[in-house]
Amino acid sequence: MLPQADTYDDLVKAFRWDVPARFNMATACCDRHADGSGKLALIYVDEDGGARRLSFDEVSDLSKRFANVLKADGLVRGDRVAVFLSQSVELPIAHLAAFRSGMISVPLFTLFGEDALEFRLSNSGAKAVITDEGGYEKLAKIRDRLPDLKNVYVAGGKVPAGTKSFWSSIENASNDFATVDTGAEDPAIIIYTSGTTGNPKGALHAHRVVLGHLPNVEMAHDFFPKSGDLMWTPADWAWIGGLFDALFPAWYHGVPMLGYRAKKFEPQAAMQLMADYNVRNVFLPPTALKLMRQANAKHDGVKLRSIFTGGESLGAELLDWVRATFGVDAHEIYGQTECNLVVGNNAKLFPIRPGSMGKRTPGFDVQIVNEEGEAQPRNTRGIIGVRVPNPVTMIEYWKNPEATAKKVAGGFLLTGDLGVQDDDGYFWYVSREDDIITSAGYRIGPSEIEHTLMKHPAVAMSAVVGIPDPIRTEAIKAWIVLRPGFAPSDLLAKEIQDFVKVQLAAHEYPRHIQFADSLPMTATGKVLRRELRGLG
């Protein structure tokens, strides 16, 4: 998608979208590489360390067979197919089968509890679910409350009563399936928001969404793809990050993907995995990088070509650690479920400014706007807005026209994130609109305080919230997870407070510090500040 260019400005000027009227993700991300050559698509490593390799030919064959299974079981174009799996062989097969059938897939995170699962399945009206034995244990408890759900396919040796074997169904099906002729604007997938505030909303995306991700993926991965590239991410494939920052863009370009289902992210095990399989390109969320730094994880066999990260700003210290450890820069990106990868970095095109999200992705008009969608002057804080239409933005919130209408103003999609764009075009994240702390007349975003806290040698992770204060309206409170070798104490709390006063500002230091063993997070690694606010 990206043209060849020596400078960022030349890249932006030369870029043109190429979105065909007729487009299907199964064809684009699989079938066109299934040419009989056995080109590698997936290396899946199981929990015991065994590896299974699948070619694009095999993935195409299996997904066509499963498309015939869905058709035989009564599903039709437009029906929703939920994929309740983590990184696995079965997950992309299920999604591709839905795409090629003109159906709408619904990825679901395996750690969802019953309430979260029921809401998404009910809201989407899913008629089929693909899961494993562990997933069905949760699903069985709510199945009688899901009248739309007619078919459940279970991957694994044991097939519970009332379900069908995923693999046996595929084995008994034909691989003769004509992929539905879909338009680029036709619906393909519903991805639910993280739900940091209120009920999750289902962002309905079109087949074009994978094309919309390509400019940023290619830029932030240093002009991806290149010979020898192989992609891996610990981010779950139930989220837009795992699916569209990694899996499907890699497959669009015919680059193999490494899959690994870990019960828990282990920094040194991640290093070993990258070394063992010669991983060249990674999407490592900031939380993963922080845990690796905390564990001082290293491996001489890791030879990365590109590191892509996003979700929160890394800060100078973590950026320096990444560069010293891996020999390449971490390229931060910015986006959200509704409109992903619209800002990013590439150190070869422009200098990385620690704390900045980077510059707008070629092909996107990103500006700081007010609530009416009116562009604001440079260096003015406002809402990060993305001009629509564009290929990566959702069609709508599923069954929620009111929320959809509120999301757009003045021709811009309003992200709900506050930021600043400087004179050189760099974007700086301030906070979510609802995370702003009002203290003694100041409006304070928590991110800058969190970045400063991370510079203290005792701090492994932090989250900052506002709590009620009779004098200041709100007082700043910091929840802190300490690094190994440090113990909670009043003396350490005072030291950290003084550190922030000196490093940042006297009015922005946390008047209250709470030490904790961990922080509440969404499945995508974002801190749930509303939960911390509720704890006071």
pLDDT in tens, 445-454: 788 789 889 9
| Residue (of 504, 392, 496, 499) closest to 447 by Cα position | 504
Angstrom CA distances, 59 to 27, 69, 236, 408, 487, stand at 11, 15, 20, 38, 51
Task: Report the pLDDT averaged over residues 114-126.
Answer: 92
**Two tokens, residue 235:** 């981010």
Task: Report the pLDDT averaged over residues 84-103.
Answer: 98
CA-to-CA distance for 453 and 455, rounded, in angstroms? 5
For residue 388, tell me if it sits in a domain. no
Say if CB 340 and CB 245 are below 8 A apart.
yes
Domain containing 454 — which CATH number?
Answer: 3.30.300.30
Say if CB 479 and CB 516 are below 8 A apart.
yes
Domain boundaries, position 516: 443-535
pLDDT of residue 194: 60
**Two tokens, residue 353:** 């400014």
For residue 430, tell me if it sits in a domain. no
pLDDT in tens, 227-273: 999 999 999 999 999 999 999 999 999 999 999 988 888 999 999 99
Which residues in 334-366 are b (16+ Cβ under 10 Å) and which e?
A: bbbbbbbbbbbbbeebbebbebbbbbbbbbbeb
pLDDT of residue 167: 97
Give the H/E segment covering residue 257.
Answer: strand 257-260
For residue 455, tell me if it sits in a domain. yes
**Two tokens, residue 296:** 């001082």
**Two tokens, residue 491:** 């003396």
For residue 520, tell me if it sits in a domain. yes
CA-to-CA distance for 356 and 531, rounded, in angstroms? 27
For residue 483, tell me if it sits in a domain. yes
Mean pLDDT score of the chain: 94
Chain centre to alpha carbon of residue 314: 16
| Residue (of 24, 166, 161, 34) closest to 93 by Cα position | 166
Beta-ladder partners of 477 = 465, 512
For residue 514, tell me if it sits in a domain. yes
Cα dihedral 73→137→198→519 (10° resolution): -140
* DSSP reduced 3-state for 426: coil
How many domains in the chain? Answer: 1
CA-to-CA distance for 51 and 182, rounded, in angstroms? 35
CA-to-CA distance for 390 and 524, rounded, in angstroms? 24
**Two tokens, residue 30:** 């699989």
Task: Report the pLDDT averaged over residues 465-469.
Answer: 90
% residues pLDDT > 70 (the chain) = 98
As to burial, measured by CB atoms within 10 angstroms (0-12 exposed, 13-18 middle, 19+ buried), residue 489 is exposed
For residue 35, tell me if it sits in a domain. no
Q: For residues 452 and 323, which has the higher predicted lDDT (pLDDT)?
A: 323
For residue 108, tell me if it sits in a domain. no
pLDDT of residue 196: 44
Beta-ladder partners of 309 = 332
Q: Which residue has the tokens 């990566």?
A: 392
